[in-house]
Amino acid sequence: MISGHKAIAFLTGLGVGVGLALLFAPQSGAETREWIEDTTEDGIKQLRKTGRKALRNLQAAVSKGEETMATAIKTGKDALETLSAKLD
C-alpha cells in the first residue's frame, strides 16, 4: 500500500521530470504538450489504481476488525453466562 508520503514523492518526481523534459526536449510545442498530457494521464491512472487498492485493503482490515470484535463480544457473553450459571 502506498502512503501519502510516497504519493507526494511520486507526484514531485513526476513534476520534476516534466520540467526537465520541457527544458531539454527536442520536440515541438504540440508534441511536448501531447507528451505532458499522456504522462499526466498515466500518473493519474496509477494514483487511482493505488487508491482503489488502498481502499480495498482498508475495507478488508475493517471487516476483519468487525469479525474480531464480534468474536470477542460472543466470548465475553458466553463467559458471563457460564459464570452466572455457576453462581445460581
Give tens-digit pLDDT for 55-80: 999 999 999 999 999 999 999 999 99
Amino acid at 44: I
Indicate the domain borders of the chain: 4-87
Cα Rg of the chain, angstroms: 26
pLDDT at residue 16, rounded to an integer: 87
Distance CA 59, CA 53 (A): 10
Note the pTM of the prediction, 2 decimals: 0.53
**Sorting pLDDT into bands at 50, 70 and 90, what band is 54?**
very high
Q: What phi, psi does 26 have (nearest 5°)? A: -90, 25
Amino acid at 13: G
